[in-house]
Structure 1
């Protein structure tokens, strides 16, 4: 049974075994908004550049008032912050720090992240930029003078106007498909998305995500979960790899478009975990690995 219909959402998912051809999904080739899931290919490109000697991971970056977007980590700091690129990468994945992600995009280059997903066989994946670019698109969509004016205008927008923002439209904003996202994860976990050292770097940082209420919430404590969430108004998603005690590994992409735009939406988060667990069970039942 689809767990999303009962919680006011339209869900999608895709699961594939990392080590055999088995897979299953629902709406798995439909375009979906990436939101903060974009930080996974971003950090993979950063890790690849580190291994190639193009970037020093200990390089210091100073983040000032103009860099902050608000939110978690450095994005919400009141004062200037200075840290290494690798710590920014860790914060971008562990707490979804948007300012950290923007700093990484500036350093590694948006075009290089786009080239990476093309190289990995993800033709339906579109990356327009980082979190600041998403905000800029929303400011432009409502013809606001700046982010401050947008913040004042947003509460007055109708539901239709919010849903019409290009950043929330998978046909116009940064987007992918569930099947391409699990392909990316499978390649990373098989050390086929770049040098093994780079893949291992990304895997390690993804295990440090502090949120457990979506994907991880659907699995027992003895199942390892390395994942990254994405959240925007009316959108919840998560991608990750779950590893069972028997060593079997499954790449998962799951999410939903919600009837309501705002609120905690805990029931939807629970449905994400349940949908993921049910899909993994289906694959495990026929897994040939």
Structure 2
């Protein structure tokens, strides 16, 4: 049972989405409207631009602010204890370690990239800092998307629908980055990314529940999605993620359309059974 003294109410998920979009789109809006002035102070737009990082971290910022509002420091400790959860069926880790890279390589091949191009890597001294940076960029989002929003939505709907809702917000939240030069998304097509991101969200929701609400596995999954070692397979990787989502939903249909095993606690009293 949930400890209601710490748990945020379901309706706070609307506040989470509002804050997340306000922070991210507000920062990107400044760049749109005052591009010259912003770049004169903060430099050109890119993955290391302060406003881009603020936008990327907005789900985590929103989630943690709400955690502190409802649970104070004790609630934050309970919430962060979900970073220690890691146990999940081995099939999920095979997907994480082998399946996700395979999707990028297969997508690159479908897009006409040669194997030599797909396997080409920058020097190790450049690659390692990129890998480390990607760990603290996109994956931090999961403190909000899966850490906060998903458990609350699963109190009212089955995991498939919760993953779909989070996926729609997650995909739309990225949209301004497609229209700013210098962002990773600026060279991609919007619609394949949107539908692919929804598929990824559904897959990750299933993994998240299988790992008993682990924020850690969500971070690792997201890290694999952004790993600089994998080739840029847009848009084919997005189509393949949709195919994978259909497979996951079919194989796990008894879990995906039932709330019985869905994780619903944001700040569990014990990491032994956060559901």
TM-score above 0.5: no
TM-score using structure 2 length: 0.33
Which structure has the highest strand share of the two? 1
TM-score using structure 1 length: 0.32
Which structure has the highest helix share of the two? 2
